Amino acid sequence: SPAWSIHLELYSIGGNAAGMPCMFPFQYKDQWYSDCTTTDSPGNQLWCAVETKYQSERWGYCPVTCEWSEKTLINSVIAKM
């Protein structure tokens, strides 16, 4: 059973679930993650799942700098619609 903890809400950027909140902990390939991970990531970029189990393969990159703004996230979501 994974260890549950409280996180600030992170919203994914890019990936196939841009703008969706990251779900922690999440299970990927039989391992639980309580933070963003670089596992199997091209370019070693941090990513997260947006569902507790990665069965539907919905994911996004984690924001890693303060360069992202609310406007950037909103535009990312609108572009996907």
Superfamily for the 1-63 domain:
Fibronectin, type II, collagen-binding (2.10.10.10)
Beta-carbon contacts of 14 under 8 Å, excluding residues fewer than 6 positions away, are: 60, 61, 76
Tell me the per-residue pLDDT of 3-50, one tens digit each, with 9 for 90 and over: 555 456 789 999 999 999 999 999 999 999 998 999 999 889 999 999
pLDDT of residue 68: 47
Instruction: Please state the separation of Cα 31 from the chain's center in Å.
Output: 16
pLDDT of residue 80: 47
Angle 17-23-27 from CA coordinates, rounded to 5° = 100
The pTM of the full predicted model, rounded to 2 decimals, is 0.69
Q: What is the mean pLDDT of residues 51-58?
A: 85
Q: How far is CA 11 from CA 1, 4, 18, 66, 68, in A?
A: 25, 19, 8, 13, 10
Q: Beta-carbon neighbour count of residue 13 at 10 Å?
A: 19
Residue-range domain boundaries for the chain: 1-63
